[in-house]
C-alpha cells in the first residue's frame, strides 16, 4: 500500500472527524480509508486513532505523528507542483490574515523579506482580531495564537508563545512583589476585558495548570494599552513575551512569578485543507517558522532575558 495514501487518510480523518467524511473528500469508500489506516498502524506498530461507532479521535502517538504527516504531504505537493511547471518559481497573490497586535509586530515585518525573495508574488495582509472565515472570505492562510477550535482547517506549528506577569520597577517598589499566584489578590491586576483569570502551573514544575481570578481598578480590551499601563506603574499585567520582551530587556518592566508560569501555547499557521498547498503559502509559512525558531527571536537584542529586580522590602505585599 502507498505510504503517502496512508498518511493522507490519517490527515483527512483527523481534519474532518470521521472515516465517512474523509472518504467523501478522497472520493473513495469508508472501507478503503479504514484499510489505509489499518495498514499505517500495522506498519508503524502503534495505534494512531481511537475508533468507535460514534467518533474517531487521535491517540497521543497519532497527534504527534499528524503534524509530520501534514508537513511531508505539503512538501510532496509543493515538489510535484514545481516539477509539473518545470520550475520552483513562487508566484501569485497571497492573502494572509493575523491578529492585529501580533500581526503588526511579527507578521508584517517579514512581508518585505518574503517579497524580496519571491518577486513574482504580491501580498495582502489583513490584521483583525475577529475569527476570519478563510474559505468564504478568500484567504490563503491565517496566523492564530493559542488553542485551535475544531474545524476543517489544517494547521502548522510555527513556534511557542510564553505569557508572563509583568510590572514596572516603580510599582514593585511601591507595592511589593507577589511570591505566589495566591498573593495576586493583594495587587492591582490590569485585566484584558471581562476577566476570566490568569493561568499558572498548579505547582512549581507541574504540567497541570489552574486559573487564578484576579481583580483591579482598570481593564481594557486592548493588550497594547495594558502594557502601557503596566509601564506607567498602574499594576500587574499578564502579557505575552512577544508584547513585552523589549520592555523586559530594557528594564522598563520586570517579570514576576516566573516559576509558576504556565507552559507556552502555540503559534500556528492555518489554511483550508487542500490536496496541493500552493507554493506561495508554503514559502511564507517556512519563512515565519524559520524566523520564530531563531534563538532569542522574542528578545530582539539577543542578550538573554535578565529583568531588573526591585530592591527587597520588608513589607512584601500591599495590605
- Tens digit of pLDDT for each residue in 151-161? 667 888 898 88
Q: Do residues 230 and 253 lie in contact, with contact meaning Cβ atoms separated by under 8 Å?
A: yes
Q: pLDDT digit string (tens) for 1-12?
A: 688 889 989 988
Burial letters for 287-316: b for 16+ Cβ neighbours within 10 Å, e otherwise?
bbbebbeeeeebbeeeeeeebeebeeeeee
The residue that leads in pLDDT, 312 or 245, is 245
pLDDT band at 24 (very low <50, low <70, confident <90, very high): confident
pLDDT the model gives residue 83: 63
Q: How far apart are CA 230 and CA 315, in angstroms?
A: 21
Q: How far apart are CA 249 and CA 307, in angstroms?
A: 6
Residue 317 has pLDDT above 50, yes or no: no
Q: Do residues 26 and 8 lie in contact, with contact meaning Cβ atoms separated by under 8 Å?
A: yes
Torsion sign, CA atoms 236, 241, 242, 246: positive
Burial letters for 1-19: b for 16+ Cβ neighbours within 10 Å, e otherwise?
eeeeebbbbbbbbbbbbbb
Among 179-183, 214-218, 239-243, the range of highest mean pLDDT: 179-183
Q: How far apart are CA 177 and CA 257, in angstroms?
A: 9
Q: Do residues 233 and 113 lie in contact, with contact meaning Cβ atoms separated by under 8 Å?
A: no
Number of H helices, E strands in the chain: 11, 14
Residue 197 has pLDDT above 80, yes or no: yes
CA distances for 49 relative to 57, 62, 82, 149, 153, angstroms: 6, 6, 33, 19, 19
pLDDT band at 56 (very low <50, low <70, confident <90, very high): confident
Q: Using CB atoms within 10 A of its CB, is residue 110 exposed (0-12), middle (13-18) or buried (19+)?
A: middle
Q: Which are the contacts of 169, defined by CB distance < 8 A and separation ≥ 6?
A: 251, 254, 308, 310
Q: How far apart are CA 253 and CA 7, in angstroms?
A: 47
Q: How far apart are CA 67 and CA 283, in angstroms?
A: 17
CA distances for 106 relative to 111, 144, 208, 215, angstroms: 10, 12, 29, 30
Q: How far apart are CA 131 and CA 141, in angstroms?
A: 12
Torsion sign, CA atoms 292, 297, 300, 305: positive
Q: Which are the contacts of 209, defined by CB distance < 8 A and separation ≥ 6?
A: 199, 200, 201, 202, 262, 263
Q: pLDDT digit string (tens) for 69-104?
A: 887 887 777 666 666 555 557 888 999 999 988 999
Amino acid at each position: 500500500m502507498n505510504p503517502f495514501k496512508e498518511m493522507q487518510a490519517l490527515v483527512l480523518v483527523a481534519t474532518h472527524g470521521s472515516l465517512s467524511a474523509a472518504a467523501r473528500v478522497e472520493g473513495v469508500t469508508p472501507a478503503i480509508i479504514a484499510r489505509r489506516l489499518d495498514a499505517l498502524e500495522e506498519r508503524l506498530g502503534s495505534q494512531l486513532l481511537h475508533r468507535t461507532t460514534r467518533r474517531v479521535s487521535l491517540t497521543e502517538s497519532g497527534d504527534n505523528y499528524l503534524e509530520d504527516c501534514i508537513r511531508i504531504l505539503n512538501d510532496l505537493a509543493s515538489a510535484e507542483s514545481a516539477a509539473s511547471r518545470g520550475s520552483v518559481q513562487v508566484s501569485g497573490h497571497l492573502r494572509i490574515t493575523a491578529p492585529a497586535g501580533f500581526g503588526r509586530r511579527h507578521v508584517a515585518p517579514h512581508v518585505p523579506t518574503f517579497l524580496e525573495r519571491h518577486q513574482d508574488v504580491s501580498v495582502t495582509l489583513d490584521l483583525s482580531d475577529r475569527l476570519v472565515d478563510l474559505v468564504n472570505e478568500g484567504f490563503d492562510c491565517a496566523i492564530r495564537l493559542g488553542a485551535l477550535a475544531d474545524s476543517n482547517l489544517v494547521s502548522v506549528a510555527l513556534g511557542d508563545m510564553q505569557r508572563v506577569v509583568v510590572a514596572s520597577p516603580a510599582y514593585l517598589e511601591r507595592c511589593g512583589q507577589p511570591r505566589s499566584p495566591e498573593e495576586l489578590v493583594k495587587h492591582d491586576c490590569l485585566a484584558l476585558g471581562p476577566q476570566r483569570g490568569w493561568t499558572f502551573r498548579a505547582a512549581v514544575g507541574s504540567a497541570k495548570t489552574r486559573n487564578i481570578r484576579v481583580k483591579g481598578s482598570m481593564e481594557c480590551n486592548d493588550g497594547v494599552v495594558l502594557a502601557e499601563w503596566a509601564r506607567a506603574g498602574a499594576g500587574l499585567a499578564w502579557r505575552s513575551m512577544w508584547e513585552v520582551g523589549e520592555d523586559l530587556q530594557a528594564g522598563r518592566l520586570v517579570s514576576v512569578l516566573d516559576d509558576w508560569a504556565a507552559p507556552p501555547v502555540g503559534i500556528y499557521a492555518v489554511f483550508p485543507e487542500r490536496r496541493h498547498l500552493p507554493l506561495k503559502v508554503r514559502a511564507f509559512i517556512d519563512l515565519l517558522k524559520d524566523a520564530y525558531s531563531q534563538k532569542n527571536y522574542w528578545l530582539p537584542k539577543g542578550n538573554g532575558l535578565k529583568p531588573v529586580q526591585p530592591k527587597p522590602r520588608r513589607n512584601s505585599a500591599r495590605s
